A and B are shown apart, each in its own frame.
With several copies, the nearest count.
Chain A
Amino acid sequence: MYSEKVMDHFQNPRNMGEVENPDGVGEVGNPQCGDVMRITIKVDEKEDRIEDVKFKTLGCGAAIATSSMVTELAKGKRLDEAEEISKKVVADALGGLPPQKMHCSNLASDGLKKAIEDYRSRHGN
């Protein structure tokens, strides 16, 4: 059902954990629905760039793989670039997701956006 790339990110998630003293935190999902993701970021203020990003995720294979992928895609990107990472971008980068997983377990880009928002609100821009 899952592509090889999804299985690879599920089995070997990249950037799992929490950034220490994060500059931004985004949490999305709901345990009742079976998916919760928490993304923490460290931002290079001068460059407006994501220096480090990590995730923690409760959820199915797709939830974990998309979280892992989003951190890979976001790392080193400028914030405005990172905000462009949509669900579709994540799914495409993973070689596609089963249709029923496309929305329900593909929240990681939302989590990232929330973390960036959080960073901006904390830093007043």
Chain B
Amino acid sequence: MQKAIFLDNAATTRTGAGVVKAMQPWLEQNFGSPATLYSLGSQAKQAIEDARQSLAGLIGAEAKDIFFTSGATESNNWAIKGVAEALAEKGRHIITNQAEHHSILMPLRYLEKKGWDISYLPVDGDGLVDPDAISAAIRPDTVLITTVHANHEIGTIQPVAEIGRIAAEKKIAFHVNAAQTVGHIPVDVNSLGAHLLSISGHKFYGPKGVGALYLKRGVRITPLFHGGSQEKKRRAGTHNVPGIVGIGEAARIARNSMDAEIEKLSGLRDYIFAWVEKNIEDIRINGHRTRRLPNNVNFSLEGIEGESIMLSLSYPTAEGARPVFISTGSACVSGNLEPSHILLALGLPAELAHGSVRISMAKEDTREDIDYALEAIAAVAERLRNMSPVYKRGDKKCTAFDKSAGCDCEAAS
């Protein structure tokens, strides 16, 4: 098979060669548990503290405020359930928005069933939360505001610092899900005003199965894992030493490479947008055009469905063709029966959500590979549109899209 072009880095990234190398000695040779006093243990402990320092440095935090977890899903569950429980006496109202990741929404739905009241604020057509709406939603019993830093699907970067100021003013705990931003764009817990912040290793060239939760000193939170006295008794369990060393090394590398990555990838991103707008008819760009992750491109193709685009790209038939891996908000791959709740929250009609394509780049991607992928996407779109019983060229039903006005697809089709 020809070398694939992997453009699904928002789902997961390749563990960097340097990261793997850094992890290696902690798997087989230095396998001691950091909880012990003998040298094999104190070396592991030192390695963990070095990683903590490195990760803290990446987000402007103090090392002692970093708590290692198994990933952002755990961090998000811990943040939400932990704060809710610790502050239950104070109040049971939490503010979020409709375009959050499932690892935020599902813990909140769970709390809702247990009697908490959750405000799921709408987002605008670009996916932005309105800080004024958050201000307006605050009640005396509000104990937590949780916002994603940048959306994993459409890349939109939220006005987090503004929300942080509101939270500070009202003295409400503020959680930021930074799974998509840490290691990719500058994240500073203080300027964001975050009291809690979730991090995932495998989203920035670190290993899978490790993440962290930043907990500002003084935040009241109940543990999710009770047990041994690891992580100052806030997160029990034998440390995943190789994983923690890996996320530390990924953080170290990210600090050095971030500026170059941002410049390169935002250039590629804008190039892709320009290319598809010029070369593919009847598309709609999803997410904010500029307040957006450098590595994220998302658009919908009218008249076709995402899984078939994705499959066609990943299993090309032409001799010598290279597979291209992207993702889609189609229901067919969501694990649920609904298309992406995020695209629906933008106001997109279901058919355009089904027909969405997300291209998420990695720092090593080249212009040549991107060009190859774009040609492949255009060809697949052409082929599937020829096969489509509903596509009519130039219909442009929803290209000029205005969420407030909605998209009157039924009338147009």
Contacts and interface: CB of A to CB of B under 8 A. Distances in A.
A–B: direct contact at CB < 8 Å: yes
A34 B390 contact: no
Given A11-B317, A58-B304, A58-B305, A34 B330 contact: yes
Nearest to A35: B305
Interface in B336-359: 337, 339, 349-351, 354
Given A13-B387, A31-B413, A59 B37 contact: no
Interface string B380-413: 0000001111110000000000000000010001
Interface in B150-186: none
Contact of B387 (A2, A31, A56): A56
Interface in A12-36: 12-13, 16, 27, 31-36
Interface in A55-105: 56-61, 63-64, 101, 104-105
Interface in B201-255: none
Contacts of A27: 389
B45 to A, nearest CB: 8
A38 interface: yes
Contacts of B332: 34, 59-61, 101, 105
B389 A33 contact: no
Nearest to A57: B387
Contacts of A101: 332
- Identify which of B307, B315, B350 gathers the most chain A CB atoms within 10 Å of its CB: B307
A50 to B, nearest CB: 19
Contact of A37 (B37, B349, B389): B389
A34 B305 contact: yes
Contacts of A33: 331, 350
A10 B308 contact: yes
B308 A64 contact: yes
A7 B339 CA distance: 23
A18 to B, nearest CB: 9
B340 to A, nearest CB: 11
Contacts of A60: 305, 307-308, 311, 330, 332
A32 B305 contact: no
A58 B389 contact: yes
B390 A31 contact: yes
B308 A56 contact: no
A34 B317 contact: no
Contact of A61 (B311, B337, B387): B311
A105 B331 CA distance: 11
Identify whether the interface residues of A are mostly helix, strand, loop, or mixed.
mixed
Contacts, number: 76
B119 interface: no
B387 A16 contact: yes
B339 A58 contact: no
B331 A64 contact: no
B303 interface: yes
Nearest to B354: A34
Contacts of A35: 305
A10 B310 CA distance: 12
Interface string B302-335: 0111011001100101000000000000111000
Contacts of B349: 32
B30 interface: no
Contacts of A61: 307-308, 311, 332
B279 to A, nearest CB: 21
A108 to B, nearest CB: 12
Contacts of B409: 31
Interface string B32-43: 000001000010
A36 B307 contact: no
B339 A1 contact: no
Contacts of A1: 37, 42, 45
A58 B390 contact: yes
B44 to A, nearest CB: 12
B317 A58 contact: no
5 contacts: A11-B317, A13-B387, A33-B350, A36-B389, A64-B308
Given A56-B388, A61-B307, 7 more contacts: A10-B311, A12-B317, A31-B351, A34-B305, A36-B390, A57-B387, A64-B387
Interface of B: 37, 42, 45, 303-305, 307-308, 311-312, 315, 317, 330-332, 337, 339, 349-351, 354, 386-391, 409, 413
